Amino acid sequence: MTTNRKPLISGNWKMYLNHFEAIQIIQTLSYQLDASDYEACDVSVHPPFTDIRSVQTVLESDRIPMILGAQHCHFEEKGAFTGEVSPGMLEKLNVKYVIVGHSERREIFGETDEHINAKVKAVFKHTMTPILCVGETIEEREEGNAQSKVRGQIQNGLKGVGKERVASMVVAYEPIWAIGTGMTATPGDAQEMCSFVRDCVKEIAGGTTADTIRIQYGGSVKPINAAELLKQPDIDGALVGGASLEADKFARIVKYRLH
């Protein structure tokens, strides 16, 4: 059984675009996207922390229905954590989605499944929605361990999270070998893994939850491959890095259904 899952197209800007550039790209995007685009899919942008207030102001003052997201946060409410930002601070800026456990956070900054699980809970506690990232390295794929890696990340990431919350969240399947490399997973491979992610959610939280949760694919999504990927039955959106930094490209991905 499939339910009507509205696709979510998210732009993860990573450590690109200062707040002036952020305002410019949001304004350009707002001219390129129209009501029919927002009706067909949800669109979120995830700027660096220093841009969030500026982007919030533009979205709210111009009534642009793009959803404000963040790339990361700490799991504690407050404290002596130099350089960190708390979920409560993001909530105050009307942030709705927070990317949790991106592979760059896991691999470069040493975030563990335990940190990520705590962040999923902290994000929910502040009435925002986590986008939990999972995915395997090229070595894990070649050794036939892609599924066990991803299953472990899902089981650990969702530990102690209630079914209703799981149903409302987003999982982004992002094979690490496809991120920023131009090597996209084939639509068939991406579908197979996203369907596997749904099966894992079913094991943990039941069929209804698995039918409702949205699963994004991420890893070198471009205007040229977005339609094929998003056509797959278990792919409910895309987490877009590089191609979200140019308004034209990101708008064409959002309009994938027209291609």
46, 74, 102, 140: which one is catalytic? 102
State in angstroms the smallest separation of the CB of 169 from ligand PGA: 16
Q: Using the rule CB under 6 A, which residue among 219, 226, 230, 235 binds ligand PGA?
A: 219
Helix/strand/coil (H, E, C) string of the chain? CCCCCCCEEEEECCCCCCHHHHHHHHHHHHHHCCHHHHHHCEEEEECCHHHHHHHHHHHHHCCCCCEEEECCCCCCCCCCCCCCCCHHHHHHCCCCEEEECCHHHHHHHCCCHHHHHHHHHHHHHCCCEEEEEECCCHHHHHCCCHHHHHHHHHHHHCCCCCHHHHHHCEEEECCHHHCCCCCCCCHHHHHHHHHHHHHHHHHHHCHHHHHHCEEEEECCCCHHHHHHHHCCCCCCEEEECHHHCCHHHHHHHHCHHHC
Residue 179 within binding range of ligand PGA, rule CB under 6 A: yes
Mask 139-178, x = binds ligand PGA (CB under 6 A)? Answer: -----------------------------------x----
- 64 touches ligand PGA (CB under 6 A): no
Q: Which residue is nearest to ligand PGA (CB)?
A: 241
Piece in contact with ligand PGA (CB under 6 A), picked from 32-40, 52-60, 201-209, 219-227:
219-227
218 near ligand PGA, rule: CB under 6 A: yes
Tell me which stretch binds ligand PGA (CB under 6 A): 35-43, 68-76, 77-85, 217-225: 217-225
Is 71 a binding residue for ligand PGA by CB under 6 A? The answer is no
Candidates 47-55, 109-117, 199-207, 236-244; binding stretch for ligand PGA (CB under 6 A): 236-244
Q: Residues in the site for ligand PGA, rule: CB under 6 A?
A: 12, 174, 179-180, 218-221, 239-243
Give the catalytic positions in this structure. Answer: 102, 174
